[in-house]
Amino acid sequence: MSSGRIEKKTVRPWNTPGLAYLGACLGIALATAHHIHHVSAGDLSENNAVVHIFGELFAATSAGALLLGIVSEIRNRLVTRGD
């Protein structure tokens, strides 16, 4: 039976490197889907295709990793600050 007290839940910190890795993988998946769309639509120019593909792939991978890494770090700091 409950004693009427609210017990404090134990909150574990998020794995920031793991979430950054997940964000990078999501960025790769989104960039790949975007490039498949370009190829299927036939609007990928032939003269700078490599620069276009690898530039967007690098940007999407970096942005995904940074986004989820920053969100995880902010959340971890807010949780530890509340203690």
Percentage of the chain exceeding pLDDT 70: 87
DSSP 45: -
Q: How far apart are CA 82 and CA 8, in angstroms?
A: 12
Residue 50 tokens, joined: 């490599």
Residue 48: which pLDDT band, with cuts at 50, 70 and 90?
confident
What pTM was estimated for this model as a whole?
0.79
The highest-confidence range among 44-53, 62-71, 74-83, by mean pLDDT, is 62-71
Residue 74: which pLDDT band, with cuts at 50, 70 and 90?
very high
